[in-house]
Structure 1
Amino acid sequence: MVYNFSAGPGMLPASVLEEVQSQLLSYEGSGVSIVEMSHRSSTFMEVVHDLEHRLRRLMHIPDTYAVLFLQGGATLQFSMVPMNLRNSGRFAYLDSGTWSKKAMQDAKPFGDVVVVGSSASTNYKTLPDWSQPIHDVDYLHLTLNNTIEGTRYTTLPETNVPLVADVSSNILAEPIDVERFGLLYAGAQKNIGPAGLTVVIVRRDLLQEQDVPSYLSYARHVDTLLNTPATFSLYVAERVLAWVEAEGGVSEMERRNREKSERLYDALDSSTRFRPLVTEPSCRSLTNIPFTTGDDVTDEAFRQFAQTRGLIELGGHRSVGGLRASLYNAMPLAGVNRLIETMQAFEQGGHDVSH
C-alpha cells in the first residue's frame, strides 16, 4: 500500500477511485463516458445538482448563500474577490504566509491593500495579531489554513466587514461556520476531488454587477453553468462528498483528522531526530504538518528512506524546505502510523548521511 502525503493534488478515497474506474467507459450504463457527456444534459445536470446539495448539507450552507463551481484554482480567486467585492476600493488582509501574500499581490491592481496584521517576523510560524476594530474596508481576507507553513486559525476576528477566507486545505476537514463569512473559496484538489474545480460560497447580498469580463463576475455564475465546466472534476467531487456523507460527515472527518494529527505531533514532539516547524499547539494545522531534522541532507535521506517504504510526497514546499505530511480526509490512520514507524526506524538506524 502506497500512502500519498502530497499537499495537492491530494490522496482521494480508494473506494471513490474504484467507483470512478468502474463507471468511466459507460456512466450508469448510458454507453457514454462521464468525460464526454454534455454538461447541458439532464444526466450531468443531476450530478451538479447532487454535488451542490451534498455540499450544502455537509457545510450547513443556507439559501442566502450561492454556491459557484468555477475554474482557475484558488489563485484566480485572489483577483476575482477584489474585482467583485470592491466598493470603496480598500481591502484588508491578514498576512499569515505564502498564499496570503500572493492574494495581497493580486488584489493590488484593484484597490488599496491594507495589511492589518502579519506574522512575517516569526517567519510565519505563528498567526498574526490584528488591530481592533477593522472597518472602512470592503472585506477582510484571511487564509484559514496555511498549507505551506502549517498554521491554522481557530479564532476569527470580530469585525462588521465581510470576512473572506481561502479554505482550500481545510474545507470538509473540520466544521466551518459559513455564516461567519461573506465569501469562502477553495481549490478542490485536497479534500473535495481532483484538480480543475474551484468552489466559491458567497453571500447573495454581496453579489453585484461589476465592470469585469463575464466569466470573472460572480453574479453571472449564480444558479447556472456559464460555460463548460471541469466536468470530470465535478463528477468525482460529487462522489467524494457522497463518501464523506456515508462516513459520518464533517464532524467525523474532524475527529479522524484530530486523531491523525495529534498522533503525528506527539511523535514529532518526543522525537530525538525530528521536530515540527510549528511549535505553538494552538495554531497547528490539522491537515498540513511541516517538520524537519534540522539538516537538509538528512531531510532528503529520510524522504528517500520513507519512499522505499511506500510513503511518497513527503518533501516540504520549495519555499520552506524540510519535510511535510498532508493528512487530508482520505489519508487513513494506518498511513500516519506507518509514517511514525518509519521515523522511528530512521532514528534507530543511525543513518549516516555524511557521504
Structure 2
Amino acid sequence: MKIHNFSAGPCVLPATVYQQASEAVLNYQNSGLSILEISHRSSEFIAILEEARQLVLKLLSLDATQYTALFLQGSASMEFLRVPLNLLQTKAAYIDTGTWSSKAIKEAKGLGEVVEVASSRDRNYTYIPSDYELGTHLDYLHFTSNNTIYGTQFVEIPQVEIPLVCDMSSDIFSRKLDFSQFDLIYAGVQKNIGPAGLSLVVVKNEILGKTTRAIPSIMDYQQHINHGNLYHTANVFGVYACLLNLRWLNDLGGIEVIERMNNEKASLLYRTIDGLDYIKGIADQKYRSKMNVTFDFEAAGLKELFDIYCRDANIVNIQGHRSVGGYRASLYNALPIESVEVLVQVLEQVKHKS
C-alpha cells in the first residue's frame, strides 16, 4: 500500500535511503556490526562524517577553505541560541516572518539588543515584508527563508553589507541560490536532509571569534570546528542517514535538478488550488512557498469530505498547523510528484460534491 506522506517534518526521505539505512542497522558494510554500535571515534564513522560535510559544501557550491559544515545535536531550536552566543556582540537585526523567527528573536534578546526591522505579524504571517531599513552598528541580519507553518518563502534574499544569517530548515537544498551570500546557514535536518534530532550549520570561518563573551564550549562553533565536528559524541546513525540522502541528491544531479522537480510539484498543486473556486490559498501568491502549500476550503462540509477522500487515497499528515488551520501539503525534495498527482485528484474529486 502506497502512503502519500505530506508531513512538514519529520518528512519523507528517498526509498533508497530507507533501504540502505535499514541494511546498515543490521550489518554496516559487512563489518558484522550495526551502524548503531560503531564508535563515533572509529575510522568508519569519521569517513562518514567527513564525506557528509564535504558533500554539503559541494552541493551548496561553497569554498571549503572559507566555509565549514557541522552536524550538531539539538536541531534548529538550539541554533536560535547558539547563533547569538557566537555572533551577537551589541546589536543584531531580525526579520519576523512567523513562529520560528519569533522564537529565534526571543532567544537572542537574552544576549543583547535585538532590532526587529520588519514583521508580517499584522496579517498573520501570510506575506514576506520587504520594506525595511537596517540602521547602523549591527552585528548581523537574521531571517527565516521558508516558513513551514504559514506557507511563505523569501523570493529575494536580503542584500546587506553585514553578516547574513539564515534559518534554512525547510528549504535548504531545494533551490539554486548564491549561497556565498550567507555568512551562516543553519537547518534542522528533518526536512530535506535526514532524520530528526540534528542541525546542519554552515558557517563562514572569518565571522567567528569576534565576540568578547565567554561561550560555553558545547555552544561554541569554533570548538566544534577545532575538534573536527567531534567535540561530543556524535549522532552516528543520524549523520549516516544524512549522508545517504546527500549522496542521493548529488547522484540525482544536485540542487539544479531537484529545483526543477520541486517547481513542477508546486506548480501542479498551486494551479489546481487556483482553478477550484471552493478552495482558497492561505499565503499571498507573491510569497507562496514551494515547500509548504497551505490552503483551506470555503465550506466546512467540504473539509469533512476531503478528509474522507484523503484517508481513502492513503494521504497522511496534511492537516495545517494548529495556529493557522486548514491544510498544509509539504513538498520536500524526496516527495515524488506521483503523491502530488494523487492529492490533485482528491481535490478535484471534491469538486463533484461542492
TM-score by length of 1: 0.95
Equivalent AA in structure 2 for residue 221 of structure 1: H
The aligned amino acid for 1:170 is D
Write out per-residue CA displacement over residues 89-136 of structure 1, whole angstroms, 9 at most, x where no aligned residue. x11111111111111111111011101011112221111124235431
Task: Assess if the C-alpha contact under 8 Å between 1:134 and 1:159 holds in 2.
Answer: no
Q: Distance in 1 between matches of 2:129 and 2:284?
A: 15
Which residue of structure 2 aligns with residue 220 of structure 1? 223
State whether residues 94 and 118 of structure 1, in contact with CA within 8 Å, keep that contact through their aligned partners in structure 2: yes
Residue in structure 2 matched with residue 87 of structure 1 by the alignment: 89
Residue 5 of structure 2 corresponds to which residue in structure 1? 4
1:164-243 equivalence runs, <5 A:
164-208=165-209, 210-222=213-225, 223-243=228-248
CA contact (8 A) 1:118 1:129 kept: no
What is the CA–CA distance in structure 2 between the aligned matches of 1:226 and 1:259, rounded to whole Å? Answer: 41
Deviations 1:277-305 (A, max 9, x none): 1232x311110011000355643542343
Distance 1:217 1:321, change over 3 A: same
Write the mapping of 1:58-207 to structure 2, written as runs, cut at 5 A: 58-62=59-63, 63-88=65-90, 90-207=91-208
Distance 1:297 1:234, change over 3 A: farther
C-alpha contact 2:96 2:119 (8 A) present in aligned 1: yes
Which of 299, 303, 306 is matched with 1:299 structurally? 303
User: Corresponding residue for 1:343?
Assistant: 347
Equivalent in the alignment of 1:33: 34
Question: C-alpha separation between the residues in 1 aligned to 2:249 and 2:287?
Answer: 25
Q: Which amino acid aligns with 1:325?
A: A
Match of 2:19 in 1: 18
Q: Distance in 2 between matches of 1:273 and 1:39?
A: 54
Provide structure 1 residue ranges, at least 5 long, that are not aligned to the other structure: 351-355
Distance 1:120 1:59, change over 3 A: same
Q: Does 1:255 align with 2:255?
A: no
Q: Indicate the residue corresponding to 1:353 in structure 2.
A: none
Pairwise CA distance, 1:55: 1.1
Residues 1:319 and 2:323 are matched in the alignment: yes
What is the CA–CA distance in structure 2 between the aligned matches of 1:78 and 1:300, rounded to whole Å?
Answer: 38
TM-score relative to the length of structure 2: 0.95
Residue 310 of structure 1: aligned partner? 314
The answer to whether the 8 A contact 2:93-2:140 is kept is: yes
- AA of the residue aligned to 1:76: M
Which has the higher mean CA deviation after the structures are superposed, 28-37 or 271-280? 271-280
What is the DSSP-based 3-state SS (H/G/I as helix, E as strand, rest coil) of the residue aligned with 1:237?
Answer: helix
**Using a 3 Å threshold, how does the CA distance of structure 1 residues 269 and 163 change in structure 2: closer, same or farther?**
same
In the TM superposition, what is the alpha-carbon distance from 1:137 to its structure 2 partner? 1.2
Residue 276 (structure 1) aligns with: 281
In the alignment, residue 152 of structure 2 is paired with which amino acid? T
- Contact 2:89 2:112 (C-alpha < 8 Å) held by counterparts: no
1:184-209 CA-to-partner distances (Å, cap 9, x unmatched) read: 00000010010111100111011117
- C-alpha spacing 1:32/1:277, structure 2 compared with 1 (3 Å): same
Measured in 1, the distance between the counterparts of 2:304 and 2:20 equals 36
Question: Please, what is the CA RMSD of the aligned residues?
Answer: 1.4
Aligned-pair distance for 1:315?
0.3
SS in 2 for 1:291: strand
Runs of 4+ aligned structure 1 residues displaced above 6 Å come to none
Once the two structures are aligned, what percentage of the paired residues are identical?
Answer: 39
**8 Å Cα contact 2:164-2:182 kept in structure 1:** yes
C-alpha contact (below 8 Å) 1:257/1:327 kept by paired residues: yes
**Partner letter of residue 179 of structure 1?**
S
Deviations 1:306-343 (A, max 9, x none): 02211100000111111000000111110000000011
Q: Which amino acid in the other structure matches residue 147 of structure 1?
A: T
